[in-house]
Amino acid sequence: MAGEGATSIWMQPEGHERSGPGRRPGFSRRQITRTAVRIADAEGVEAATMRRIASELGTGAMSLYRYIPRRDDLFDLMIDLAMSGIELPDGPSGDWRGDLTLLARQVRAAGLRHPWLIALLTSRPTLGPNLLRVHEFALGAFKGTELHIDDVTGFVGMLNDYVHSAIRREIGWLEEARRTGLDPERWKRDYMGPYVRQVVESGAFPLFNRSVLDSRTAHLAPEERFRHGLDRILDAIAALTPSLSPR
């Protein structure tokens, strides 16, 4: 074997269609990944253990290692599968703002559908084909402008940073509640609530207090809040580059 294990999973494609001797494979990377994603969606990544996935497939844990070198590689595959759900036009439309808005909404939808996605994505530097596809579309939104590629990368980075962080904020407490086993409502009321109240009542952080008490956006629906922040990022991009249409 050449370069076994010491390379990215994307360099070790599925054992391509052989026609030689030997037992036929009973599973596939895709099938295993799909199962892992399904479990993770329903019960969190920590529930998607090798044994659990195998059991769901009606087999033993060690069978999976015929298809996936290490558990970490499975994460890369899961990320890529989740990103594959992001549907985008083939190319940029010419309306950079519209394209990026579409992109952001799609990423948000994927992030909510797979609450583990953003956490995995930001915890490991991965470059699966679908992430590259999405990234390429983002970069393409600025096609036609006279921007230097570094500026484009910077803007796309700003947008990504916002989208990811916003999704994390939106999921954050929900996920934490699920992880600790409490139902979300009780978690907010009994776990974090009393502490925040104590902090507020102590008066030690007056501006934090105002950001909690006087906030208007806090009472907005999640999508609205997301759109507000997104618009701010897009406005910022427009404001930084006079050559772009302001809006």
Partner DNA sequence: ACCATTCAGGTACCATGTACGCAAATGGAA
Partner DNA sequence: TTCCATTTGCGTACATGGTACCTGAATGGT
- Give the C-alpha separation, 75 to 15, whole Å: 19
- Give the C-alpha separation, 62 to 50, whole Å: 8
- Give the C-alpha separation, 65 to 71, whole Å: 9
Q: Which residues, 82 to 111, sit near its own copies by CB under 8 A?
A: none
Per CB under 7 A, does 38 bind DNA? no
**Among DNA, its own copies, none, residue 50 binds (CB under 5-8 Å by kind):** DNA
Residues 6 or more apart whose Cβ sits within 8 Å of residue 161: none
- Give the C-alpha separation, 177 to 233, whole Å: 30
**Contacting residue, 43, 72, 136, 161, with DNA by CB under 7 A:** 72
* Residue 57 beta carbon to its own copies: minimum distance, rounded to whole angstroms: 27
9 to each of 16, 29, 77, 121, how far by Cα in Å?
14, 11, 8, 15
Give the range of 32-40, 41-49, 59-67, 131-139 binding its own copies by CB under 8 A.
131-139
Nearer to its own copies, 62 or 192 (CB): 192
* Residue 244 beta carbon to DNA: minimum distance, rounded to whole angstroms: 46
Per CB under 7 A, does 124 bind DNA? no
Nearest partner of 155 among 145, 166, 167, 169, judged by Cα: 145
Per CB under 7 A, does 123 bind DNA? no
Q: Using only C-alpha atoms, what is the Rg of the chain?
A: 22
**Quick one: tokens of 72?**
């970490």
Per CB under 8 A, does 207 bind its own copies? yes
**Quick one: tokens of 240?**
């930084």
Give the range of 47-55, 113-121, 159-167, 239-247 binding DNA by CB under 7 A.
47-55
* Residue 55 beta carbon to DNA: minimum distance, rounded to whole angstroms: 9
Helices first, then strands: H and E counts in the chain: 11, 0
Q: Which residues, 173 to 192, sit near its own copies by CB under 8 A?
A: 173, 176, 180, 182, 190-192
Contacting residues toward DNA, per CB under 7 A:
15, 18-27, 47, 49-52, 58-63, 65-67, 70-72
